[in-house]
Copies of this chain bind each other. A is one copy, B any other.
Amino acid sequence: MAEQKKFVESITPRDKDFTQWYTDVCMQADLLAYSNLKGFMVIKPAGYAIWENIQKNLDARFKATGVTNVYMPLLIPENLMKKEGELVNGFAPEVAWVTAGGTEPLTERLCVRPTSETLFSDFFAQDVHSYRDLPRLYNQWCSVVRWEKETRPFLRSREFLWQEGHTIHETAEEAEARTQQMLNVYADFLAEELAIPTIKGQKTDKEKFAGAEATYTIEALMHDGRALQSGTSHYFGSKFAEAYGIQVTGRDNKLNYVYQTSWGMTTRVIGALIMVHGDDSGIVLPPHIAPTQVCIIPIQQKKEGVLETAAKIAASLSAYRVKVDDSERSPGFKFAAQEVSGIPLRIEIGPKDIAAGKAVIVRRDTREKIECAIGELPVRVGEELERMQREMLERATAHLAKHTFAAHNAEEFEEDFRETKGFVKAMWCGDRACEDKIKEMYGVTSRCIPFRQEEIAGTCVCCGKPAKKMVYWAKAY
Contacts and interface: CB of A to CB of B under 8 A. Distances in A.
A366 interface: no
A40 B80 CA distance: 14
A72 B123 contact: no
Contact of A112 (B41, B72, B74, B158): B74
A101 B71 contact: no
Contacts of A69: 45, 48-49, 52
B159 A74 contact: yes
A75 B40 CA distance: 8
A71 B75 CA distance: 19
A99 interface: yes
A68 B52 CA distance: 11
Interface string A23-49: 000000000010111001111110011
A97 interface: yes
A342 B253 CA distance: 34
Nearest to A291: B68
Interface stretch (A88-96, A187-195, A434-442): A88-96
A95 to B, nearest CB: 7
A4 interface: no
Contacts of A100: 96-97, 99
Nearest to A109: B100
A101 B48 contact: no
Given A35-B123, A99-B100, A43 B71 contact: yes
Interface stretch (A142-150, A227-235, A277-285, A331-339): A142-150
A246 to B, nearest CB: 14
A77 interface: yes
A172 interface: no
Interface in A402-423: none
A119 B35 contact: yes
Q: Name, among A71, A100, A126, the residue most crowded by chain B CB atoms within 10 Å (CB to CB).
A: A71
A73 B42 contact: yes
Interface in A224-242: none
Interface of A: 33, 35-37, 40-45, 48-49, 51-52, 68-77, 80, 92-103, 110, 112, 119, 122-123, 126-127, 138, 142-143, 145, 147, 158-159, 161
Which 3 A-B pairs give the minimum distances between C-beta atoms?
Answer: A40-B73, A45-B68, A43-B71
